[in-house]
Structure 1
Amino acid sequence: MGEISIKINIADRVYPLRVATEEEEVIRYAAKLINEKIKELQENYAVRDKQDLLSMCVLQYATGMIKAERNAQQQENGLEEKVHELDAILTDFFRK
């Protein structure tokens, strides 16, 4: 598919972007989540500077992403171990 021009509002600033048509929904949803997180942080902390709120937001999302990546890696390693165990069992079975 092609690219389209969109405008995304994050922390009361508008960012014009050119994105792949199939990515538009994801990008708009991400901007919505960021704005919701900024609002939540603003309500819960005595921080009014948008730069500080954006930094706190980015830190929370980056932390979540790192945790998710580590979890996925651990699951992948566990799956790999199970495949090796199954391979050993099948190899032993067919040798008999």
Structure 2
Amino acid sequence: MGDISIKINIADRVYPLRVEAEEEEVIRHAAKLINEKIKELQENYAVRDKQDLLSMCVLQYATGMIKAEKGAKSQDAGLEQSIHELDDLLTDFFRK
């Protein structure tokens, strides 16, 4: 599939984008999540400036992404360790 033109509304601003057709759903969902997070922040804090709300939103999502990356690296390290242990066991088994 090729590029398509879409318009995304984030924080009451419309952004025209050209995206791969298969990415459209993900991008629209991301915009929806951002707008919901902005609304939640606006309701919970005495902040009305859209720029401040967007900054707070980005900070929360970036923090979550960093935590997820660290968790994935930790899982990768654990998996790598398990593979080495299994390799050692198999090596010992076939040497006997």
Residue segments in structure 2 that go unaligned for 5+ positions in a row: none
Query: What does residue 14 of structure 1 align with?
Result: 14
Q: After the TM superposition, which residues 53-64 of structure 1 pair with which residues of structure 2 at under 5 Å, given as runs?
A: 53-64=53-64
How far apart, CA to CA, are the structure 1 residues paired with 2:68 and 2:62?
10
DSSP 3-state at the match of 2:46: coil
How far apart, CA to CA, are the structure 2 residues paired with 1:56 and 1:84?
42
How far apart, CA to CA, are the structure 1 residues paired with 2:73 and 2:21?
31
Residue segments in structure 1 that go unaligned for 5+ positions in a row: none
Shift of 1:16: 0.1
Shift of 1:40: 0.0
Amino acid of the residue matched to residue 8 of structure 2?
A: I
How far apart, CA to CA, are the structure 1 residues paired with 2:17 and 2:55?
21
TM-score (norm: length of structure 2):
1.00
Question: Which digits, 9 at most, give the CA deviation of each residue in 1:8-57, with x for residues without a partner?
Answer: 00000000000000000000000000000000000000000000000000
Runs of 4+ with >4 A deviation: none
Query: What does residue 77 of structure 1 align with?
Result: 77
TM-score (norm: length of structure 1):
1.00
Q: How many aligned residue pairs are there?
A: 96
Query: What does residue 50 of structure 2 align with?
Result: 50
- Identity across the alignment (%): 84
Query: What does residue 37 of structure 1 align with?
Result: 37
